[in-house]
Amino acid sequence: MIEKAKTFAINAHKDQKRKNSDTPYVTHPIRVAKRLQEAGFNDELICAGFLHDVAEDTPYTINDIEKAFGPVVAQLVAAHTEDKTKPWQERKQHTIDTVKAASKEVKYLIVADKLDNLLGLETDLQEQGDRIWKNFNAGYEKQKWYNESIVKNMYVGLDKEDIPDYFWEYEEAVKSFFQ
């Protein structure tokens, strides 16, 4: 099932590039899935890592994901899929609210995604400087608010033993990046 999800993501994102480079977009969901796998999570969550942007950024739907991977994977992906018809602020507030109230599996998926996005942004900033912000719907201050809000809410409802190491990594990356 994991290889099937990886192949599905590769095909779905085949012509897409990351915002600030010519890097194939699929490298992002592959890294997210790898982080989830390294944390020891189940196959459904790892598959959701590969597929987390498919319904949001490609012609495929949550129904397509459910048909191919079952309801658990589809529900995880759906919980993390933004409605791109809504304004940036509203979409991000929804994600913040979701991470606060979500199941731990959804939190794990969201934070793995946000950590990978931030690490990529950090690399882009080092290589390209402040011009990277022109490729986003929101600049530095709004990105700071968003990432700090995710950190503030990602621990809600989790016991210490349920917190994977990459949550701490994300918290430190946010502090470092948005000094």
Task: Identify the three-state secondary structure at position 147.
Answer: helix
pTM of the full predicted structure? 0.95
Alpha-carbon distance of 53 to 80, in angstroms, equals 8
Alpha-carbon distance of 3 to 12, in angstroms, equals 14
Q: Are 95 and 150 in contact (CB under 8 A)?
A: yes
Catalytic-residue membership of 57: yes
Domains of the chain: 2-177 (1.10.3210.10)
- Hey, what amino acid is at 64? D
User: Which residue in 43, 44, 57, 165 is the catalytic one?
Assistant: 57
What is residue 137's predicted lDDT score, i.e. its pLDDT?
67
User: Which residue in 43, 56, 66, 82 is the catalytic one?
Assistant: 56
List per-residue pLDDT tens for the chain, 179 residues long: 999 999 999 999 999 888 777 788 999 999 999 999 999 999 999 999 999 999 999 999 999 999 999 999 999 999 999 998 999 999 999 999 999 999 999 999 999 999 999 999 888 778 777 777 776 667 789 999 999 999 999 999 999 999 999 999 999 999 999 98
